[in-house]
Amino acid sequence: SNSSAAEVDPKRRQIDSKEKPSTNLMMAVPAPTAVIPEPTRRELRAIHSINQTIELLDWDLVDKQLQKGKAYFLRDATLSEWEAYVTTEGQQLKSKNMEWIHGKLFIVELPSRPHERYIARLIIAANAATHTGLRFLDIAGAAYQTNIRRLEPDVWTYATYGHAQTLHIPRDSLDSIRTTMQTPKHLLSEWPSTAISGNDLLSSCLYSAGIVASKAGKLSPIPTFLVTCVMYLFRFIYIEVVSAIPLNGGSYNTMLNTTSKKVAAMTATLAVIAYLATGVVGAVSASDYLRAQVPSVNNVESAIGILFVFALLNVLGLSESAVIALGIFVLHIMTLLILIVGCVVFSFNNPHILRSNMQTPLPDLDICGSLVTSNVFTAVFFGFSSAMLGVTGFETAANFVEEQQPGIFGAILRNMWFLSSFFNLSLSILNLCVLPLLGPAGTIANNNIVLALMARETLGRGFELWMTIDGFIVLSGSVLTSYVGITGLVRRLACDRVMPEFLLAENKWRHTNHYIIWLYFAVAASLVVCLNGDIVMLSSVFSYAFLGLLLLFSGGAILFKVKRSHMPRDTSAAWYTYSDLQQLTHKLGVCRWKCIVALVMVCCGFLGTLLGDPTVSVVFALYFLVVGSLVFIMLERILLLRVCMFVMKSLCPSKKDKAETKSSDSSDLDEPLLQPRTGALGGRTIRKAIQAINAPPVVFFCKHMSLSLLNKAVRYVRTNEHTENIQIVHVHAPGTADPVGFADLVGVFDSMYPETKIDYVSIEGTFEPALVQWLASYLHISTNMMFIRQPDNIDAHKVSLLGVRVITS
């Protein structure tokens, strides 16, 4: 049953102060089976007096009192008078609208209109929306269930009735927001943005060449080339999706706008593990390069030390600097170019090394825990899955797209693809020309410091030291990137109520999210210890997360083409042009083959990693379950609390038959409203927790009166969000009238979904980003909790760029 009942009015579905409801407007219920004696003359006078008191009530005052969670004191009455009133005027009064407590009558819920008037209002709303009454019985029948809910025991689980209101936005407030939004922001240009992502991407070159060689041997350039082709496809996949939804969050944001929140949360879990593996692999690789020069260094302890140092620096407020990142990026590219030139010269002078390597057998492979003799297919297959490590970091550019200048995202991906393809392929080939594959000084035995060995072999000890320093700096930079990235991602997840909100807490000194940083350090350090700093096993964990992200992103891109086909997007960057025919086929979806091929190739890479060392699978599953369990608890915390209450009812039932009330001699009307008992010891605490979780509202911007659209929106919110209040907001142009019947249509859904309070909000103005920001501030919610249907014009698309979620086509 509902905690309050309100009337349905075309503009405001609440009790109107001019229309005084009386008890004869209550819903009819079956007559009691026992014979009820006729009331005495004294009882009849008392009944008449109670009805007169009700007719003289100020119902606005009653409504305000009930909205605060307080009971409204009506008058004094004896128990016999109350019993006579109930049996004479209607059986529902005692359980729904009024309560008698120690000689006093309290109103605990507003009365509703009679059934006939309610059904008539449904007819008007249905006909106004659909111009037909054919589905009226279905709608009315569903709405009639609103009354049945009042017979259920857990009445606190139902929200109050919604209402309709008109908001007038102060012009000065709107102008102030416009001025703030139009203020130029410092955005990153092409090469600084490329540097931030490129440092993460090109740091993979420092360890991927040796790992691929340990799987594919002399065939290692082939899987590396295949990875280059796959990432060529992902260039266009990322451009299409991110240009349509240019918001931070990458894969998580894509899945959130095309699928359900639970699928997006699973994507976020993989993203968290990817950042976790990024930091761990970077720290361990940096310590390996350091140990190559100082053999006494323990790589596990030094890796944990690196993680701790960067955690401390992040707590102190150090974040990525675009200028520093660009300097490191240029230095690393110059170092790799010098290494490549030196290797080319060395290979021409020593061609026997390549010939010797081409005569070596393919290395044995660890498949499902057993060593298996390799062949061409298995070498290329498992080498491909390992070669995907060489492009980890490619997805980073999509995680800070809001900080980039408009229109440069495609150029950033072009730069990253070209650089990663050039260096990965070149180093993979030159590795076979410089170092032997087998032996204690070969590539397979030293797969974690291959570039340092190539530098010593070609340009001497001095350049090896320089390569080590360069590798340490770049890999340490990837650790910093992981801290910055995980902080931004977890903040976004906490704002979306996917992660606990306490993670948003900032320390008063440096205003950094210390909980996120130190939790990340603790989990990362545990991963280093768990795998004993084994770079091959750590990189396999990284591969799981990275390939899982690419898998979900490519699948999300296919869904995006199908479900969000009308969203404006930028696919005409200067470096990528279509002929007229190609543009036509692209609009028709013929180029979906890119998504499909990329999806199949990533599936192969994921399968290759899955069939590798089973220990890695167990470790990945363990960390995935830890992070996934936290996300699951947040998404299903209402269900878990209800299960907890059910268990408490069975094991520790409440000893009180009724909820706690104020004493009979108290006349303080500010005491809390009598809440129905839960029947469980500690049930009130659980109930308050559930109500606090459901308290924040969500907003759905609705342009047209549409039964199907509103139903999709309400069902989406009920499935994906924890809330008891949905605000259906309609913005109509200045000088135009609010659509007739819109409030009634919303009222239909308010009645069809009794657990959710659905309000109608009408705003006169222009649908623009400034209006959305004002409404978010007015309702005290973030734009992440505002939803919209698929925008099909530029103005609506600009609104969606604020973070307003697209939830339906």
Q: What is the CA radius of gyration of the chain?
A: 33
Number of other CB atoms surrounding residue 629 within 10 Å: 11
Mean pLDDT of the chain: 77
Confidence of residue 221 (pLDDT cuts 50, 70, 90): very high
Tokens at residue 266, please?
């699973």
Closest by CA to 170, choosing from 733, 765, 786, 732, is 765
The order of strands in the sheet holding 698-701 is 164-167, 757-764, 725-732, 698-701, 786-789, 805-808
As a whole number of angstroms, the distance between CA 38 and CA 16 comes to: 34
- Residue 573: is its pLDDT beyond 80? no
Give the model's pLDDT for residue 800.
Answer: 55
Q: Which of 133-137, 179-183, 251-255, 724-728 has the lowest mean pLDDT?
A: 133-137
Task: With cut-offs at 50, 70 and 90, classify the pLDDT of residue 741.
Answer: confident
Average the pLDDT over 659-666 and give the result. Answer: 42
User: pLDDT of 504-548, one tens digit each?
Assistant: 888 888 788 889 999 999 999 998 888 887 777 777 787 888 888
Q: Has residue 103 got a pLDDT over 50?
A: yes
Q: What is the mean pLDDT of residues 737-750?
A: 86
Contact predicate 728/702, CB 8 Å: yes
DSSP bridge partners of 365: 372
CATH class for domain 189-634? mainly alpha
Task: Compute CA 324 distance to the chain's CA centroid, rounded to the nearest angstrom.
Answer: 31
Q: What value does the mean pLDDT take over residues 28-33?
A: 37
Q: What is the largest CA-CA distance in the chain?
A: 121
DSSP 272-321: HHHHHHHHHHHHHHHHHHHHHH-TT--HHHHHHHHHHHHHHHHHTT----
